[in-house]
Chain A
Amino acid sequence: MLETIWFVLWGVLWAVYFMLDGFDLGLGALMPALAKSEQDKRVIYNAMGPFWDGNEVWLITAGGVTFAAFPGTYAVMFSSLYSALMLLLFALILRGVAFEFRGKVDSPAWKSIWDACLWLGSFLPALLLGVAFANIFMGIPIDQKGVYQGSLFTLLNPYGLLGGILFVLIFMTHGSLWLAIKASGELEARAQVMAKKIWPALLVVAVVFLAATWFYTRLWANYLSYLWLWILPLMAVAGLLLSRVFMAQNAWWKAWGASAVMIVGCTLFGVAGLYPNLLPSSLNPAWSMTVTNSSSSPLTLKIMLGVALVMVPIVLAYQTWAYVTFRHKITDQDLAYEEAY
């Protein structure tokens, strides 16, 4: 029971991480396409400014919770995905300092270095997270000792790559919607057009991904046994469709909200399909890392649950407050602000 609660929390943490960091990863990946001037770039940086760091902590927490609640899975998953994970970390390092360093020297060459880091550090994590999760949904070649019998290239199979493309498109949509909320004038219009342009591609890839999921993974088994789980994929589909409806109505906050619902639905769809596995073995289902064979002791799970039940609502409360405080459109005054990015 405790293990199952933690499994749900584990899925929710990843879902919240993708929902929040998704928009700033997507926006970073789109910056070269959206920004025509230094002014535009600064609007984009400052649109993410007060949020990206807090968003990234959800990744740290998701990682930390994997370690705390399912150390067996943490150990096998992270050592199996060694190269992919390291690439992800290097990308996030360059991205994080890009925010802080870029504006500190007034030189176009200096700025363009960090712009490149922001782009790479946004695009690569979006892609890698998609590749990684698609592979987790499908299962990876781990043997009975939890030793990975593949390489970085094993992960770059058609289904994994499809997952990567899906994540990139989801995050890009999410990011353009965020910019449509935060920017004004021409940049705002460009962000709106961008969201509308990416959406059909996202729809196609999402449909292909769902179909491929039927053939490549065993996620459907749970959906055939537990019909109420269908609410999760339905959530994803509803979010996807509604986001387009709201775009047509020029209701950009609602469109972003619908996109957030889609991301949460998508993530939980995959996670719920995995249960009771956290990391299936493609070699032999008996070698999979599951909620029972990889979890922490009941005492640890209990203490951690207490911490989570108290702290996560508090975190959500102050992060929401921060979002509300800085929800306004970026103005010239914001760019002239001494501490702005």
Chain B
Amino acid sequence: MDVLMLSRLQFAAATFFHFLFVPLTLGLSLLTAIMETRYVISGDQDYKRMAKFWGKLFLINFAVGVVTGITLEFQFGTNWSRYSQYVGDIFGSLLAVEATLAFFLESTFIAVWVFGWNKLSPKLHATAIWLVAIASNLSAYWILAANSFMQHPVGYVLRNGRAELDDFLAIVTQKWAVLEFVHTLSGAYILAAFFVMGVSAWHLLRNSEVGFFKKSFKLAAAWALVFSVFAAINGDLSGKEVAEKQPTKLAAMEGLWETTKAAPMYLLLWPDQKNARNSVQALPIPGALSFLAFGDFNAEVKGLKDFPVKDRPPVLPTYLGFRLMVGLGALFILVAIWAFLKRKDPQSSPKLLKLLPWLIPLPYLALEAGWLVAEVGRQPWIVWGMMRTADAVSPVAVSQVATTLVAFILIYGLLGAAAFWLIFRNARKGPAPVKAN
């Protein structure tokens, strides 16, 4: 394998792993903040214990998210130096803003929150977790604005042999960035909600801490419903944005080779990239693809054959990732409706309680699949239409990247195992018993 392929694998491994921890951080920080606020307002000790219990799981998860995020920032320089040089004027500044605006706030106040239960007034303490939650979610905006620039570059001018900043606001406020932000956040909140519901269900099934977990469940069920519906609506808008701005990605998502009017969506499909066709293609829904992409059953959808072979993304992973994400998204809505209906007395439905813990991994899978579509579907471009991934890689030795790739897999593998084991263990243990005093 060459440096390019190894670097891509390494970056994929590092980002996928990082993103196993990011969504729960985004969602659970907010849920914890809401719980603590309820405690401060009502004085209900259960909510304080909830903030502590879910906060503890949040912290284990947060630690891994933070340390794996640092490596990502540096990997643009180590592995993608030509990319960094070419778009650093824009991309670098977004990362730097993210650090000064969000990371400092997040990292400083998480420590204040952890160590400050007895040192700060309840209101100030609750403010600390709100700052953490806001900062985490804010940092997501900046990194997603940076990613949006890679997906749909705007606000730049090509000058001095590189892309230079022309309109900062255009980059930060472009529609793509807003859609990507809302979609990613909805996904993260779904994940956090299913996490809380799953853990709560496990305890409710065993009649442990019933009051505590009923309250947690109720809050999470509402979140799951709101955001799974929201993600679907936003996903539809995002799909139309992709259809307009990244036609090759859309065609790969749907395995569409020939440009077609009133394009159907095939329920069963298996793409064959080598021969530029689908080896399996059955059960069409007439006009569905045209409608989803352009809001018109008769619209023309561009097929991959309209684009040179060298401009086509890998079709199979893009297609499978998309199907997986959408399928799971639909499942989340159904389960969320069920959970929402039972939110006041979840124990009345043991079936639901038995199912929910098993569903915890699914939002993780859906979110990673979503990123697979976004990033693999963007290939062969690192910055859409501007720079190819192949031109972006660092002039480093194969042996260097091969060594670090192995090290990444080993260290991240062990780290991930330790982190999920700790989360699992602490989730099962349940909240600390009420102190008798």
Contacts and interface: CB of A to CB of B under 8 A. Distances in A.
Interface of A: 49-51, 53-54, 56-57, 59-61, 63-69, 71-72, 74-79, 81-83, 85-86, 89-90, 92-94, 96-97, 99-101, 104-105, 145-148, 296-297, 299-300, 303-304, 307-308, 311-312, 315, 318-319, 322, 325-326, 337-340
Interface stretch (B35-43, B69-77, B302-310, B365-373): B69-77
Interface string B75-96: 0111101101101111111011
Contacts of A77: 77
A56 B84 contact: no
Interface string B100-129: 110111011111101111111000000000
Contact of A64 (B64, B99, B120, B415): B99
Given A93-B67, A299-B165, A325-B119, A75 B81 contact: yes
Contacts of B170: none
A63 B93 contact: no
Contacts of A89: 70-71, 74
A322 B96 contact: no
Contacts of A147: 395
Given A50-B112, A67-B92, A315-B100, 18 more contacts: A53-B110, A61-B100, A63-B73, A63-B74, A63-B77, A64-B73, A71-B84, A71-B88, A78-B76, A79-B77, A89-B71, A101-B60, A105-B425, A296-B89, A296-B165, A299-B164, A311-B104, A315-B108
B115 A50 contact: yes
B85 A71 contact: yes
29 contacts: A53-B66, A57-B99, A57-B107, A60-B70, A60-B73, A60-B99, A61-B96, A61-B99, A64-B99, A66-B77, A67-B76, A68-B88, A68-B95, A71-B92, A72-B88, A74-B76, A75-B82, A76-B81, A81-B78, A86-B78, A93-B68, A100-B62, A304-B96, A311-B100, A318-B108, A325-B116, A325-B120, A338-B117, A338-B432
- A-B CB proximity, top 3 nearest: A71-B88, A78-B77, A67-B92
Secondary structure of the B contact surface, majority rule: helix
A266 to B, nearest CB: 23
Contacts of B273: none
Contact of B168 (A85, A303, A337): A303
A81 B117 CA distance: 42
B415 A93 contact: yes
B422 to A, nearest CB: 5
Contacts of B87: 71
Most buried by A among B76, B96, B111: B96
B278 interface: no
B355 interface: no
B277 interface: no
A83 B411 CA distance: 16
Nearest to A53: B107
B394 interface: yes
A83 B402 CA distance: 11
A175 B368 CA distance: 41
B60 A82 contact: no
B63 interface: yes
Contacts of A51: 111
A120 to B, nearest CB: 12
B400 interface: yes
A96 B66 contact: yes
B115 A326 contact: yes
A339 B70 contact: no
B107 A75 contact: no
Contacts of B63: 96-97, 99-101
Contacts of A104: 60, 422, 425-426
A93 B108 contact: no
Contacts, number: 227
B111 A308 contact: no
Interface string B404-435: 10010001000100110010011000001000
A65 B96 contact: yes
B375 interface: no
A78 B107 contact: no
Interface string B157-184: 0011000111010000000000000000
Contacts of A319: 104, 108
A76 B104 CA distance: 27
Contacts of B66: 53, 96
Contacts of A65: 96
B254 interface: no
A168 to B, nearest CB: 21
B93 A304 contact: yes
A105 B88 contact: no
A319 B95 CA distance: 21
B415 A97 contact: yes
B108 A54 contact: yes
A68 B93 contact: yes
A47 B67 CA distance: 20
B88 A75 contact: yes
Interface string B317-341: 0000000000000000000000000
A146 B411 CA distance: 31
B164 A82 contact: no
B342 interface: no
A96 B67 contact: yes
A56 B76 CA distance: 19
B104 A54 contact: yes
A83 B98 CA distance: 26
A85 B415 contact: no
A181 B418 CA distance: 34
B59 A100 contact: yes
B52 interface: yes
B326 to A, nearest CB: 34
A300 B100 contact: no
Given A67-B76, A82-B400, A312 B85 contact: no
Given A51-B111, A304-B96, A74 B77 contact: yes
B70 A92 contact: yes
B97 interface: yes
